[in-house]
Amino acid sequence: MGYGEAPWEFKGRALYQLSLVRVEEARKYVPAELPLVSLFGWTLGGFYLARYSSSPVGAFDECVALAGLAWNFPTSCAWAARVYVSDRDARDHGISAVGLPSRLAAFKALPLPALDGAGRSGEGGKRGASWWDLPHRRAARGGGTAGSGAAGAGSPTAVVELCNSERAGGKARPSSSGGGSDGGGSGCHGKARRGLASPVCRIEVPQLAPAWAPKIQMFLPSFSGATPDHPGLLTYTLKLTAHIRPLPPARVTFPDRRHKSDDGSPEVLDAVLGGRALLCLAFDDMHMEVQPPQRWHPKGAPTGSSSLRPAAA
């Protein structure tokens, strides 16, 4: 199964969280040709966490670590430091077709007691359905798990453990298209070159009780490239329609101790993902159309500039 011809369509739900990231950290991932929207040494980063029930390769999970807000008058766009996906075809497509620093990843939903060491009052270690626990709907072109449901108003928060499952030599464990598992347990073990032996992070996902939200349509410009496969810059447009509403910010935590093989790895994104949260939005009943990328030169940059270098990709 492949992506086929554009536009590429995705359906599902997502969280989009904006947070403050130090400019010097963002610059490790954002090309020098792109100015950053910044104030007093801070820019806007964060993450985009999605569950796709339907896509060109079926159902899968995605988390985009956003390093900072790049500016190219009159538009701006959050720059992706890493794109984590639970599907191998989605990873390969992101790298080869869109110029993204994509990584194969494992997504694991944990109860809060997994962090606390004990259940909360009245829960007894059990919890109801939450946003992340909802099973994937059967995708239009295969993958995923049949079934759907709505989060109960009293359901507690789920914890999503995100693991970079890439292994030494660029190889990774086999992944299932929609289950979020890489077929090898937690997916965080084994010596890795573009992966990590310890989890990337854990995200406490806010509960999502049923509520009305306005349906909003947006046309968003996106930038990519500056990777080994696409040294130049690319631009593409996505059309997004969803019911959008604010949520309490999601709490992001990191391992107290990382495996010694992770020391100094550019795959450790604590400074990007751990910024102070400013805003969290839920995208329900999301429908997204992505157009194919085109070569792009920032305003003011000379055509054919060769100064671009892959940034920690």
Who's near 95: CB < 8 A, 6+ residues apart? 101, 102, 227, 229
Q: Answer yes or no: is pLDDT of 62 > 90.
A: yes
Average per-residue pLDDT for the chain: 79
Strands 158-164 and 60-72: unpaired
Strands 102-111 and 215-225: unpaired
Q: Which of 158-162, 202-206, 253-257 has the highest mean pLDDT?
A: 253-257
- Which tokens go with 38? 């910044």
- Residue 164 pLDDT level (bands cut at 50, 70, 90): very high
* Dihedral sign of CA atoms 80, 156, 121, 277 in order: positive
Q: What is the pLDDT of residues 253-306, one digit of tens each?
A: 999 999 999 988 999 999 999 999 999 999 999 999 999 999 988 776 555 444
Q: What is each CA distance from 263 to 103, 167, 257, in whole angstroms?
A: 19, 16, 10
Q: Answer yes or no: is pLDDT of 176 > 80.
A: no
Q: Which domains, and CATH codes, for the chain?
A: 8-296 (2.40.400.10)
Q: pTM value?
A: 0.82
Q: Are the CB atoms for 175 and 143 separated by under 8 Å? A: no
Q: How many residues does the chain have?
A: 313
Mean pLDDT along residues 18-37: 94
| Percentage of residues in the chain having pLDDT higher than 90 | 57
d(CA 212, CA 31): 40
